[in-house]
């Protein structure tokens, strides 16, 4: 594996859309006791169900710590590859490489990772094991790796359409915890030169109370070139209404890199989801302090789905909108089966299905 210091875009590489063909998917077996309640017992079963579904249409690699390897191996299908790798937590979207291709070769990008805000407003310390994962995964997959560690970025904060357009949020990328020395224009140039895009659509904010500082992957994503789904509520008393309306106005006033107007499909949100006393009780303290407060609103959204080769896997919360979300997505992904899985146990960790997965694009023509 070579470490590269050139620019992916200048080398002819770009980030394909998630809805294009995958070689496989990377996940990290959950273990952190202040993220996952009751020693991650329920979270592990939710991960296993997700992995079973994804692995029916693409290869899956699961990274597990030394002490969790046997259990992961026992709970996961034989067709899944389990490899020992240390990590601080389990958010493959944010710590695995972002893959770029030129159509005949695949390379990884190793961004800097600082646990969603470093010492300013990050979610845990230290994060050095997570920060090493992208490079280790490139090594494992025998892919050359771009060294972009001086730029802090998580995979959950970007979406591309594979045709030159990138979606992100100002709340996250312009926040003080990531790259405080860089201007919006400088960040945009960095996105273009690393991900091979020519147009960045900036939404203002992400889902209300999202501890990632408003990752795009929880509020809006491409379903095909020129089309997106946007997390939506009609409840004007919900603080989410203003946020989603602002996103809608920006998207409807935008064109993509190919000059198409963006078509927005509203994906209803579940009713607000709050963590219970019992759930908080199941979480260990971090540095002597609780990581969550009973009654805290969690950032539940159906937009946090994963697009596998033959399935779209959508979080479900036991809400009346669960089936509506599946129906809307079924209409938008006619060649894939849209499957819901109960994901409250993942949500308690602070993210959802998309956040715990990272696709590896297919790269051979």
Helices (H), 253-349: 277-281, 322-332, 344-347
| Strand ranges, E, within 161-286 | 165-169, 199-203, 220-224, 227-232, 263-268, 273-274
Q: Sort 138 into a burial class: Cβ within 10 Å, 0-12 / 13-18 / 19+.
A: buried
Question: 32 or 136, CB closer to ligand KQY?
Answer: 32
Going by C-alpha positions, the residue among 203, 230, 217, 210 that lies closest to residue 328 is: 230
The rounded distance, in Å, linking the Cα atoms of 59 and 77 is 11
Q: Is the separation of the CB atoms in 134 and 97 below 8 Å?
A: yes
Residue 18 Cα distances to 27, 223, 305, 306, angstroms: 15, 9, 11, 8
Note the Cα 204 to chain centre separation in Å.
Answer: 18
The binding site for ligand KQY (CB under 6 A) comprises: 35, 91, 93-94, 123, 156, 211-212, 215, 349-351, 355
Helix, strand, coil shares of the chain, percent, nearest 5, are: 30, 25, 45
DSSP for 126-150 reads --HHHHHHHHHHHHHHT--EEEEEE
Q: Is the separation of the CB atoms in 172 and 158 below 8 Å?
A: no
What's the min distance (Å) between Cβ of 212 and ligand KQY?
A: 5
What's the min distance (Å) between Cβ of 301 and ligand KQY?
A: 10
Question: 144 or 296, CB closer to ligand KQY?
Answer: 296
What's the min distance (Å) between Cβ of 235 and ligand KQY?
A: 23
Question: 96 or 339, CB closer to ligand KQY?
Answer: 96
Question: 4 or 314, CB closer to ligand KQY?
Answer: 314
What's the min distance (Å) between Cβ of 358 and ligand KQY?
A: 10
Residues, the chain: 365
Question: 101 or 157, CB closer to ligand KQY?
Answer: 157
What's the min distance (Å) between Cβ of 231 and ligand KQY?
A: 14
The rounded distance, in Å, linking the Cα atoms of 350 and 312 is 21
Question: 93 or 107, CB closer to ligand KQY?
Answer: 93
The rounded distance, in Å, linking the Cα atoms of 201 and 190 is 14
Residue positions annotated with a catalytic role: 355
What's the min distance (Å) between Cβ of 261 and ligand KQY?
A: 29
| 20 DSSP assignment | S
The rounded distance, in Å, linking the Cα atoms of 341 and 57 is 17
Question: 4 or 108, CB closer to ligand KQY?
Answer: 108
Q: Sort 119 into a burial class: Cβ within 10 Å, 0-12 / 13-18 / 19+.
A: exposed
């Amino acid at each position: 594996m070579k470490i590269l210091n050139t620019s992916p875009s200048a080398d002819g590489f770009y980030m394909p859309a998630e809805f294009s063909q995958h070689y496989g998917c990377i996940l990290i077996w959950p273990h952190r006791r202040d993220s996952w309640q009751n020693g991650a017992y329920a979270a592990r079963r939710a991960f296993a169900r997700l992995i079973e579904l994804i692995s029916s249409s693409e290869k899956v690699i699961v990274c597990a710590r030394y002490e969790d390897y046997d259990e992961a191996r026992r709970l996961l299908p034989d067709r899944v590859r389990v490899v020992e790798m240390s990590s601080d937590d389990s958010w493959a979207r944010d710590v695995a490489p972002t893959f770029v291709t030129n159509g005949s070769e695949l390379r990884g990008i190793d961004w800097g990772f600082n646990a969603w805000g470093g010492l300013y407003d990050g979610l845990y310390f230290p994060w050095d094991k997570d920060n090493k994962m992208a490079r280790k995964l490139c090594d494992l997959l025998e892919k050359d790796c771009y060294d972009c560690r001086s730029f802090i970025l998580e995979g959950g904060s970007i979406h591309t359409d594979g045709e030159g357009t990138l979606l992100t949020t100002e709340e996250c990328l312009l926040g003080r915890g990531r790259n405080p020395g860089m201007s919006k224009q400088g960040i945009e140039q960095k996105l273009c030169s690393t991900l091979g895009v020519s147009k960045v659509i900036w939404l203002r904010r992400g889902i209300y109370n999202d501890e990632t500082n408003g990752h795009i992957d929880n509020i809006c994503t491409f379903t095909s070139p020129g089309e997106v789904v946007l997390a939506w509520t009609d409840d004007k008393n919900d603080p989410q209404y203003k946020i989603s309306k602002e996103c809608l106005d920006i998207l409807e006033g935008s064109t993509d890199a190919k000059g198409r107007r963006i078509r927005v499909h509203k994906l209803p949100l579940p009713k607000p989801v709050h963590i219970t006393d019992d759930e908080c009780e199941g979480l260990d303290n971090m540095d002597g302090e609780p990581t969550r407060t009973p009654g805290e609103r969690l950032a539940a959204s159906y937009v946090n789905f994963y697009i596998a080769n033959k399935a779209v896997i959508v979080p479900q919360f036991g809400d009346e909108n669960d089936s509506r979300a599946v129906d809307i997505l079924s209409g938008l992904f006619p060649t894939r089966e849209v499957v819901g899985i109960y994901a409250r146990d993942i949500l308690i960790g602070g993210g959802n299905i998309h956040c715990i997965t990272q696709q590896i694009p297919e790269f051979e023509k």
